[in-house]
A = this chain, B = another copy of it.
Amino acid sequence: MASTRDRLVIAALRLFAERGYQTTTIAEIGREAQANAGSVYFFFPTKQQILLAVLDRYHDGIEEMLLAPAWAGVGDPIERVFALLEHYRGLLVESGCAYGCPIGSLALELHEPDPVVREKLAANFEAWTRAIEACLGEARERLPQGLDRRDLSVFVLTTMEGAVMLARTSRSTAPFEAAVRALRDHFDRLLREASTQGGERR
């Protein structure tokens, strides 16, 4: 069995994702981790420290927890972009459209977060964006010259976050699928332009 501290972090990660930060109580985190409310304070002096540990866990685990499952069997870098989006669609379907991106939900739930919390949220978004940017870098020869791959990576993330938000709120995957179709249309146009550009590329 994992260490008590680990069990507490995992329990908090689950509860924050499913019910939010403010709604989750220290007692619930303890119960979920088979520990007592008071014991939580041996490892974490404040509730916010648990949140920081959870955000670190997401950040450190992005490969193993998110990218690896989403990209299993998908080698093409452009298809990886859409495989990641498809992974989120799967999470929506699994949950009956109750799923929300844990980082996005925390980012909007906490209106005036402590700077250290806000920076860890931003670091998680940054790691996600970089993963997409790496895909676009791999596929650079198939994309138009002069394309700003950073802009496009951010655009993929805003699409995912907005699409999950709308799907969750309407309890339907329809808006998610609509946004992804529109993004795919954009990518198709980018790939088509690059393929007719031809000639020397560097």
Contact = CB atoms under 8 A, between A and B. Distances in A.
Can you tell how many copies of this chain the complex includes? 2
A84 interface: no
Contact of A178 (B110, B150, B179): B150
Chain A interface, >50% SS class? helix
A18 B185 CA distance: 36
A155 B170 contact: no
Contacts of A19: 111-112
Contact of A179 (B110, B112, B158): B158
A30 interface: no
A81 to B, nearest CB: 13
Given A19-B111, A148-B182, 17 more contacts: A20-B111, A104-B108, A105-B109, A107-B169, A108-B165, A109-B109, A125-B170, A125-B175, A150-B178, A151-B179, A154-B179, A158-B159, A158-B161, A158-B162, A158-B175, A158-B179, A159-B162
